[in-house]
Amino acid sequence: MLTVANIDLYYSAAIALKGVSLQAGLGEVTCLLGRNGVGKTSLLRAIIGHHPIRSGKIQWDGADITSLRPYERARRGIAYVPQGREIFPLLTVQENLETGFAVLPRGKKQVLDEIYDLFPVLRSMLKRRGGDLSGGQQQQLAIARALVMKPRLLLLDEPTEGIQPSIIKDIGRVIALLAARGDMAIVLVEQYFDFARELANRIAVMDRGEIIINDLTERLDPEIVRSHIAV
């Protein structure tokens, strides 16, 4: 289980996260909802280690990882798909996938057929440059690259942003399949409540750097949630 306990995060003198606590278990999807700028991405970056926290603790798989560097957290099975995808535009699809090998032991550096089963379009595009793919295809590539690492904790930052509805459905299907296997915890940042409600076991709503709602999905009042995320 991932346990984020009462963390504070600052950018210079500005506070980005204040007393945030969150848990995510294997076989579950935990979704973070909220308006732009409320701290959702900052929380993911704190978990992956891109920004040091001022106070609090982050634990994963029974160990305190608060002081570990990002590559050390990646080696412990934590993968991050950033907002905006951030694939390598001049590398081919195959080369982008192989960047996920960095954290794997030498004998396990291979792209499993399961990746192509989840994202069939990538199999036919292995020699194409990442920058030549559509936005939706790049998003699939970004998720596939993270899965090459064989993670046990997958952090997804707004994977539906700016892509066509058909691929949004494909991504939702993949997230549901990964969660159903029971060996991966998934933390999903979203702005679309309906998409989140279909997938999430638990939903946390953020506002001004704090979590103001955190409960099982079936126990939440949809209208109250929507009132906190509407622009």
Work out the average pLDDT over 177-201. Answer: 94
Neighbours of 83 (CB within 10 A): 15
Work out the average pLDDT over 144-163. Answer: 95
The DSSP bridge pattern shows strands 202-207 and 55-60 to be: unpaired
Is residue 26 within 8 Å of 152, Cβ to Cβ?
A: yes
Neighbours of 95 (CB within 10 A): 14
pLDDT at 231: 66
**Rounded Cα distance, 204 and 188, in Å:** 10
pLDDT band with cut points at 50, 70 and 90 for residue 23: very high
Residues 6+ positions from 30 with CB-CB distance below 8 Å: 22, 23, 24, 185, 186, 187, 188, 200, 201, 202, 203, 204
pLDDT at 169: 93
pLDDT band with cut points at 50, 70 and 90 for residue 107: confident
